[in-house]
Amino acid sequence: MMNKKVPIVGASGMIGSLILDHCLKSDDVRQVVSLVRRASEIKHEKLIETVVSDFLNLEVISEQFEGVDIVYYCLGVYTGAVDRETFYELTVSYPKALAQALKAYGSELRFCLLSGAGADREEKSRMMFAKDKGAIENVLAGMGFSAFHAFRPSYIYPVEAREEPNFSYRLMRGLYPVFKVLGDKVSIKSTVLAQTMFDIGLNGSDLEVLENKQIIEYQRSLKIRE
C-alpha cells in the first residue's frame, strides 16, 4: 500500500541517490520530495523535486512538509573540502532548520540521519567532523519525533564506480579488499548502507544509533543481498 510521504535531502549523493531509487521503486512510498540545490534530470510520477536556494529559510516551501512520514537526510561534505563555517552550516544548521520546519506540521515522523563513525555526542572532540556530527545528533534526538536514527558508517565503499573526491579516497578504494578482511567495524558497501537506512526508515529499529557493524548486522538479519 503506497502511503508514505518521504522527503530526501542529498538525493544526488552516493547514498541519497540509492535511497531515492529504493523509494521510487517501493510500493510503500507514495510520494518523494527531493530537496536539491541543483535540478536533476530524474523524472518519476512519485517524485517532486524542489530546488532550494536557502536551506536555512524553508518557510517558502513549508507546505511540502505536511503529512511527512519518513525523512532521509544524506547531505554532507568531505572534511577539508569547505571552510569551517560552511561545514557547520551543512552538517548542523541545515538539518536543524529542516527539522524545525517539519515540526511545525507535527512530530509523527521518523528522521533518518546519515551521520558518521566517531560522532561525539558530548561535543568535546577537537575534530570538526566528530563534534558537528555529535551536535546534530543531539539536536535531532531532542526534537521529539516519533523516532530518530543516526547511521554512523566507517569507510563507505562505492559499489558503483565514481570519480573519487581526493587522493585519500582513491587510496581507500584501492585498499577496500584489506578493509573488508579487517571486519565489520571498518568499512561498508554503499548498497548495504542505503538499503539498511531505507528499511529502518520504513520499519523502524530499537536502536537510535547504528554504528558500522550494527548497520551490517541489520542487513544480514534481513538476508538482504549485498
Q: What is the pLDDT of residue 181?
A: 60
- Alpha carbons 200 and 87: distance in angstroms, whole number: 27
pLDDT, position 225: 46
Radius of gyration of the chain (CA): 17
Length of the chain as a residue count: 226
pLDDT at 51: 95
Check: CB of residue 118 under 8 Å from CB of residue 129.
yes
Please report the pLDDT score of residue 149 as a whole number. Answer: 98
Phi-psi sector, 144: left (phi>0), alpha (psi -120 to 50), beta = left
Residue 76 · residue 114 · CB < 8 Å: yes
Q: Which amino acid is at 212?
A: N
Using CA atoms, how far apart are residues 98 and 63, in angstroms rounded to an integer? 13
Which residues in the chain land under pLDDT 50? 167, 224-226
User: Can you give the pLDDT at residue 183?
Assistant: 61
Predicted TM-score (pTM) of the model is 0.90
The per-residue pLDDT for 31 is 97
Distance CA 75, CA 21 (A): 16
